[in-house]
Structure 1
Amino acid sequence: MKEIAAAIITETGKLEAKKDHLLIAIDGRCGSGKSTLGAYLQQKMHGNLLHMDDFYLRPEQRTPKRREEPGGNVDWERFLEEVLLPLHKGTKFTYRPFNCRKWELDQPVEVEARKINIVEGSYSCHPELYDYYDLHVFLTVDPKEQMYRIQNRLGKMTCAETFRTKWIPMEENYFSKMQVRERCELCFDTTHAKRVDGQQEER
């Protein structure tokens, strides 16, 4: 992960002179290391780190129609209004993260815009959000390694199976229909920590 982070930091350095504050999106497949990479970059660059997991749909939003939309599994509208627009302007903002254990919004979190602002998580490069970022990063991982990491993280085969049959297909539909990988400037395969091209891959 350090090699991948170094490449992103180098690319970010090229943009810093042109911007008062930078927005970086890290999208990609579950189990590809988005959260780990985001945390490492936050530590190295002393920036903000925001998580798309905090903006999954509330119960009343989880309609069949919404679930069928590519990228519809996240409340991108609320994320845009509460987080991305203030970040883009460089202003302080407050948002309420969604608590998936309680199935409700948590207490407000206040954030000051910094020079570097990182957004990690699937759907962060949704077409309605894409243009607000200065750099787009996509992480992929081998399917077998992906399932190994998910099972290792969750500790239960039944939970990993839910990812395989439900959440991963929804992500793949979003990646394919929205051409997410193809639109990112930097793409990395975290199976072997190497840079890859932005062409869509067979899964």
Structure 2
Amino acid sequence: MSSGSVADAVSLVKELSRVEQPALIAIDGHSAAGKSTLAHTLQSALRDVQIVYGDDFYRVMPETERFRLDAPAGYGHYYDWERLERQVLIPLSDQQTARYKAYNWEIGALSDWKVVQPYGAVIVEGVFSARPELRGYYDAIFLVETEEKTRAWRQKQRADAVDAWLERWDAAERFYMQTCNPNAYADLVISLV
């Protein structure tokens, strides 16, 4: 792990996408840390960058079941990493087109098909994106850090913010960060304001 800047991330993705086709990059970090912002910055700065959003892999389950999960179970079940692996990471690693249905937050189900082509750089951004089961697929892992106070404020600004849910989600994130320690595996740790 080394501290880095957005410019360092741009340079590394540019270098990797010359060598790997596609270069697979994970951007991990707590909610509201700036993962999407970094992904969009990379996409704007470089050619041929596609983004796969972790929010598209929210696991379909009844809300009553979701609210019963403690932190370890939440880490294991909120995010459908098996589907991400099967539908995106394996095909792209085999230089095949990836196709997946995105989670639709309005209806609580999978809906629109998305297609990711095996070229350039593909960024998978989202909490839990660099979990141990997925790390081997990535050519680079970036971890985004932001002050807790800033993240909490950003979370409250989101339309879907519900305090009881945020507490459960945050507990699952903390469990992941402490148990799986993505900092130790990150190629760059980027602090954003």
Superposed, 1:161-172 pairs within 5 Å as: 161-162=163-164, 164-172=166-174
Match of 1:200 in 2: none
Measured in 2, the distance between the counterparts of 1:11 and 1:83 equals 22
Report what 1:201 is aligned to: none
From the superposition, tell whether residues 145 and 163 of structure 1 become closer, same or farther in structure 2 (CA, over 3 Å). Answer: farther
Deviates more, 1:182-191 or 1:127-136: 182-191
1:58 and 1:103 in contact (8 A); partners too = yes
Check 1:74–1:106 CA distance in 2 against 1; reply closer, same or farther (3 A cut): same
- Report deviation, 1:70: 3.6
Q: Which moved more, 1:84-93 or 1:8-17?
A: 8-17
Q: Pick closer, same or farther for the CA change 1:163–1:40 going to 2, 3 Å.
A: farther
Which one of 140, 143, 147 corresponds to residue 138 of structure 1? 143
CA distance in 2, matches of 1:69, 1:150: 18
1:14-93 equivalent positions in 2, closer than 5 A: 14-45=15-46, 46-59=48-61, 62=66, 64=69, 68=73, 70-93=75-98
Aligned residues: 186
The one-letter amino acid paired with 1:19 is E
Q: Distance in 1 between matches of 2:45 and 2:137?
A: 23
CA distance in 2, matches of 1:20, 1:57: 29
Distance in structure 2 (CA, Å) of the matches to 1:179 and 1:55: 21
> After superposition, what is the alpha-carbon deviation per residue over 1:135-154, rounded to whole angstroms, capped at 9, x for unaligned?
00001111111111222334
Structure 1 unaligned regions, length at least 5: 192-203
Percent identity, aligned pairs only?
A: 27
- 1:95 maps to 100
Comparing 137-146 with 127-136, greater Cα deviation is found at 137-146
Residue type at the aligned position of 1:10: S
Deviations 1:172-195 (A, max 9, x none): 11111111112111002213xxxx
- Note if contact 2:71-2:175 (Cα within 8 Å) is conserved in structure 1: no
Q: CA RMSD in A?
A: 2.3
Where 2:19 maps in the other structure, the secondary structure is coil
CA drift of 1:17 comes to 4.3
Partner residue, 1:185: 187
| 3-state DSSP of counterpart to 1:90 | coil
Asked if 1:128 is matched to 2:95, the reply is no
Query: Are the aligned partners of 1:127 and 1:178 in contact in 2 as well (CA < 8 Å)?
Result: yes
Q: Where does residue 196 of structure 1 map in the other structure?
A: none
Question: By how many angstroms is 1:15 displaced?
Answer: 2.9
Distance 1:91 1:40, change over 3 A: same
Deviations 1:23-66 (A, max 9, x none): 11000011111111111212222311000110111116857489
TM-score after normalising by structure 1? 0.82
Q: State how far apart, in whole Å, the 2-side matches of 1:59 and 1:71 are.
A: 13
